Structure 1
Amino acid sequence: MVFTPAQPLAPAGPVTSRSGGSFRPHLIWEAVLLALTVVAAVVWSSQDGSRLSPLVFNIASAGLLATAFALSLRTATPNLAVVAVAALAGLTYAAVLDAGAPVLIAAVAAIAAAAFFGLGMGLIAGLLQAPGWAVSLGGLALTQGILFATIGSGGPRRLASEGWIRSDGAGAGWLVLFLLVSIGGAVVWSIPAVRRALSGNRVVAGEPPSPFGARLLGAVIGLGGSSLIAGAAGVLLAGRIGAATPSADIGQLTLVAGAVLLGGVSVAGGRGGFAGTVLGVTLLSLVQMTILVADGPRWLSAVVFALAILAGLGVSRALEALQPALPASVSGTGPVEPLRRY
């Protein structure tokens, strides 16, 4: 009998949690976005720097919608109905004001209605294990039907004057709310335990799907939470124009999607940076306002937003590729279950 010496174990790789990953690529990209945003701000200021109030309101309303969409992307349950849910919230806001309720009660009722609608979508997506984009597309169509049935073809439904949101101070307040919700939410998402709990719907090649409960929780938080934030955006949009619109603004959806993807939120779900959504919204809003004040063709903004979506898909893919490789095992004793990259 011949004995051979045991082969030494390979050095153990570093222990990496399932929510591991580096934020460095996101921070570098956000620095690039910041530089582009500064350039866009200089160009806009040279065209029409005196009209700050419309820009503030545009960034605040689009920013809340983008924050809502970003949350749904992070949970891998993209909510394509965010603009429709915002329109539904605006209609609820107008109806409750007409009933004689105070502004605060009307706003809370509108946001609650949006959250309830989103919760329903989340339960359907989670219980049926259906993709969020498909469920929310149905939600968008349903919301459009509700708006048409309620408002009809008679044009926007005017708000009671006390529900208008037009002062510069109000605009600044809504802008601060957007910044707090977007950046604060991104910081909370950077906590590994939060990402693990809410990323159950992220699909990773070669890995088994997450447990049913994790996917249900992610769908409810992703679609329900994003609809709640979209409800706040709907109150602002209705209050800003003084009316509830009879349909969803699909052009606004392209701006929102372009800003979120350009900001670095992963199209596959699970990951995102910190200030990317804020910078993406600000950049595209500045470009849009510059086109408007320069009397550019209306189609040009649509082309810019489409290009932003396509470029954002490239950014998402690049940031995924730049994540550090995870070890095949966490000890020298043999292979273990593959690790997710978030």
Structure 2
Amino acid sequence: MKRPSLRRPEVSLPVAALAITIIGFALIPAYTDSALAPFDVYNALQIFARLGLLTLALGLTMIAGEFDLSVVGTYAVGGMLTVQAGQGHWAWGLLAAVGAGAAIGLLQGGLIARLRIPSMPVTLATYIALLGLASALSGGLTRTYSKAAVTLWVDQPVLTYFSPRSLITLGLFIVAAGVLSLSRWGRELRAIGGDRRAGRVAGVRVDRLIVGTFAASGVLSALGGSLLSFSLGSANPDPGVQPLIVAAAAALLGGVSLAGGRGHALGLLGGILAVALLAEIVTVAALPQYVSQLFFAGLLGIIVVIDAPDLHSALVRQRTRLRPGRPHPSPAGAQPTGQI
């Protein structure tokens, strides 16, 4: 029999995390002097919009058993290209960012798939190179976007709690969830993440799938950087490593396995929403910033222990040995009592 769906980590982790953070958010007036306002929900969704596409991009590669460290570099280059190419019209900036993200993803995916090399060193090298490229494009300076109307539009309130930027991000999560659930691509992505060799034997076009996944990661990362530049009215050549850390924490909180082969877009959505609510709790309650950092550090430690591949089997063996009434195995070579 299959276990109930709520017991599966890709479901239980994001559901539990989101439920806990929603309760903590709702109880803010009980342990602070601050009352909740609609703006607090809106601001949490803005945080979600800032890091959501980065989490989705990273999560997709993790489901495939890879890890795209270059997402933050693509994020920075996408934002910089948006500002520089979109001064005449916002669409040119958006197209430049998305096209660059697709090219970066195709190049990385092609190298990883064709040469059968690990993704970590490739994407790390790409990340460093992209930060250098973003700095070269801007001369090492923050660049300003002159179209104030676009900046006002992407962040204008919609239905009180949303903005066009958060709705676009939410819509892409829903599209990704549909593709992963209803298409062959989603099933094959989990298959190669769980066992790539078995996937090849089963006829899965592994190389094409890896290239497509990295291309999707590049497009999503660049689009996230583009929307952020529209929102801020500027682009920073070096966003730092914090976006990568938060995106990785949100992906793991969303039920994605460190070993690959497990995860869903809706779980990733729950993970990043939990992270966004936690960040808003820290802000509204005026807690020190290190509180969220300690939370993420402890959370990652717990997930790593739970997700350790041999931990569950070791615990089962130990429980079997300690079960009352079960005879313990005799040492190798020893004769059972009462026999000659």
TM range, normalised to the smaller chain?
0.7 to 0.9
Find the counterpart in structure 2 of residue 27 from structure 1: 11
The structural deviation recorded for 1:316 is 4.1
The structural deviation recorded for 1:315 is 5.0
Find the counterpart in structure 2 of residue 58 from structure 1: 47
- Contact between 2:194 and 2:261, CA under 8 Å: does it hold in 1? no
Q: List aligned pairs for 1:287-326, cutoff 5 A.
A: 287-314=278-305, 316-317=307-308
1:48, 1:89 → 2: CA distance? 38
* Structure 2 counterpart of 1:133, one-letter code: M
Q: List aligned pairs for 1:36-115, cutoff 5 A.
A: 36-44=20-28, 47=34, 49-50=36-37, 51-52=39-40, 53-98=42-87, 100=88, 102-115=89-102
The structural deviation recorded for 1:133 is 2.2
Q: Pick closer, same or farther for the CA change 1:182–1:313 going to 2, 3 Å.
A: farther
Quick check: 1:210 aligned with 2:196?
Answer: no
Which moved further from structure 2: 233-242 or 300-309?
Answer: 300-309
Paired positions, count: 300
Task: State TM-score, norm by structure 2.
Answer: 0.77
Percentage identity across paired residues of the two chains: 23
* Structure 1 counterpart of 2:23, one-letter code: V
1:280, 1:238 → 2: CA distance? 24
Q: Provide, for residues 255-304 of structure 1, a one-character-per-residue CA deviation record: whole Å limited to 9, x for no partner.
A: 11101101101222222145221121111112122223333333333333
Q: List aligned pairs for 1:255-266, cutoff 5 A.
A: 255-266=246-257
Q: Provide, for residues 176-235 of structure 1, a one-character-per-residue CA deviation record: whole Å limited to 9, x for no partner.
A: 332232243234323583245335653649x66736983322321221111111111111
Quick check: 1:121 aligned with 2:114?
Answer: no
1:58, 1:36 → 2: CA distance? 18
Q: Determine which of 132, 157, 168 is the counterpart of 2:143.
A: 157
2:73, 2:28 → 1: CA distance? 30
Partner SS, residue 58 of structure 2: helix
Find the counterpart in structure 2 of residue 329 from structure 1: none
- Contact between 2:21 and 2:278, CA under 8 Å: does it hold in 1? no
1:48, 1:106 → 2: CA distance? 40
Find the counterpart in structure 2 of residue 252 from structure 1: 243
The structural deviation recorded for 1:80 is 1.2
Q: Determine which of 266, 270, 284 is the counterpart of 1:279.
A: 270
The structural deviation recorded for 1:103 is 1.2
1:121, 1:263 → 2: CA distance? 25
Find the counterpart in structure 2 of residue 146 from structure 1: 133
2:81, 2:265 → 1: CA distance? 32
Q: List aligned pairs for 1:187-206, cutoff 5 A.
A: 187-191=178-182, 193-199=184-190, 201-202=192-193, 204=195
2:285, 2:214 → 1: CA distance? 38
1:312, 1:273 → 2: CA distance? 17
Instruction: Indicate the structure with greater helix content.
Output: 2
Q: Provide, for residues 96-125 of structure 1, a one-character-per-residue CA deviation record: whole Å limited to 9, x for no partner.
A: 123x2x212321221111111111111111
Q: Provide, for residues 150-186 of structure 1, a one-character-per-residue CA deviation record: whole Å limited to 9, x for no partner.
A: 22343x1111134423322395333233223224323
Partner SS, residue 275 of structure 1: helix
- Contact between 1:94 and 1:158, CA under 8 Å: does it hold in 2? yes
2:51, 2:136 → 1: CA distance? 26
* Structure 1 counterpart of 2:243, one-letter code: Q
* Structure 2 counterpart of 1:129, one-letter code: R
Q: Determine which of 212, 222, 231 is the counterpart of 1:231.
A: 222
The structural deviation recorded for 1:321 is 5.7
2:35, 2:244 → 1: CA distance? 25
Q: Pick closer, same or farther for the CA change 1:38–1:293 going to 2, 3 Å.
A: closer
The structural deviation recorded for 1:21 is 9.3
1:189, 1:81 → 2: CA distance? 23
The structural deviation recorded for 1:250 is 0.9
* Structure 2 counterpart of 1:94, one-letter code: V
* Structure 2 counterpart of 1:210, one-letter code: R
Q: Provide, for residues 69-114 of structure 1, a one-character-per-residue CA deviation record: whole Å limited to 9, x for no partner.
A: 111111222111112211110000011123x2x2123212211111
Find the counterpart in structure 2 of residue 8 from structure 1: none
Which moved further from structure 2: 131-140 or 47-56?
Answer: 47-56
